[in-house]
């Protein structure tokens, strides 16, 4: 059953994103709705727009520096208004627990916001998500991307409730 449209608590939001700017704008919107300590996991095949969304999120919060893909570094750290954002990319993870062996678990569970690309590669070892973002290429001849955001916690539901319909 669908929740009534007036419902404050929302468990999912879907969007079609016609171009790169739309992906970045969704990231910016999500960024404004985040609470400290949230975990955002981003799913979608290679080139589906995960890094673009994270870049839009960070830029939307005022970060003006470079936002590069952490594919080779596993994680990049950003500090915005005294809040830490850890941007992970587990594409190159060989074993799910390699990131823990690398000492990265300490970034979770505090006030920092963790944004994770390819979380499925760390399956079984990651703390639970608050919001999952799924990005996909639409069926041809449509272009752009389709986004589905789902909440997986109370904080996630509060977050999605703030997004435009
Ligand atoms: N809505 C959109 N429509 C068309 N192109 C888009 C859209 N969003 C992002 N792109 C483009 O998709 C390309 C890949 O984006 P991006 O690097 O963010 O993907 P990714 O999901 O992070 O990939 P990877 O899994 O390799 O890290 C970029 O060239 C970007 O401009
Ligand atoms: Mg990426």
Tens digit of each residue's pLDDT (9 = 90 or more) over 28-78 = 999 999 999 999 999 999 999 999 999 999 999 999 999 999 998 999 999
Does residue 43 fall inside a structural domain?
yes
3-state secondary structure of 140: coil
| pLDDT tier at 6, thresholds 50, 70, 90 | very low
pLDDT at residue 87, as a whole number: 98
**Section 71-88 average pLDDT:** 96
Does residue 152 fall inside a structural domain?
yes
- The CA distance from 100 to 126, in Å, is 9
Read off the CATH number of the domain in which 91 is found: 3.40.50.300
Total domain count, the chain: 1
Does residue 84 fall inside a structural domain?
yes
The pair of three-digit structure tokens given for residue 128, joined into one six-digit string? 């639970």
Q: pLDDT tens-digit profile of 88-120?
A: 999 999 999 999 999 999 999 999 999 999 999
Rounded to the nearest angstrom, the distance between the alpha carbon of 39 and the centre of ligand 1 is: 21
135 is in which domain, residue-wise?
Answer: 12-162
Residue nearest to atom 8 of ligand 1 (CA): 20
pLDDT at residue 5, as a whole number: 44
Pocket test for ligand 1, best of 18, 27, 41, 47 (most atoms within 8 A of CB): 47
- The closest ligand to the CA of 46 turns out to be 1
pLDDT at residue 9, as a whole number: 75
* pLDDT greater at residue 164 or residue 17: 17
Does residue 7 fall inside a structural domain?
no
Does residue 88 fall inside a structural domain?
yes
Q: Which ranges of 2-146 does DSSP label H, i.e. alpha helix?
A: 20-33, 50-60, 98-101
Q: Which residues surround ligand 2, an ion (CB under 5 A)?
A: 50-51, 69, 117
pLDDT at residue 4, as a whole number: 47
- The binding-site residues of ligand 1, defined as CB within 6 angstroms of any ligand atom, are 17, 19-20, 22-23, 44, 46-52, 69, 89, 91, 117, 144-145
pLDDT at residue 8, as a whole number: 60
């Amino acid at each position: 059953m669908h929740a009534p449209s007036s419902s404050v608590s929302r468990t999912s939001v879907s969007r079609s994103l016609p171009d790169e700017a739309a992906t970045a704008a969704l990231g910016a919107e999500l960024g404004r709705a985040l609470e400290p300590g949230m975990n955002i996991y981003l799913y979608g095949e290679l080139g589906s727009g995960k890094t673009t969304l994270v870049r839009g999120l960070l830029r939307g919060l005022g970060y003006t520096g470079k936002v590069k893909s952490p594919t080779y570094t596993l994680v990049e750290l950003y500090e915005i208004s005294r809040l830490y954002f850890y941007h992970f990319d587990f594409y190159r993870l060989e074993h799910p627990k390699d990131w823990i062996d690398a000492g990265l678990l300490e970034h979770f569970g505090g006030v920092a916001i963790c944004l994770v690309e390819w979380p499925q590669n760390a399956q079984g070892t990651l703390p639970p998500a608050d919001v999952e973002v799924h990005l996909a290429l639409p069926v041809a001849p449509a272009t752009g991307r389709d986004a589905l955001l789902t909440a997986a916690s109370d904080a996630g539901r509060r977050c999605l409730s703030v997004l435009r319909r």
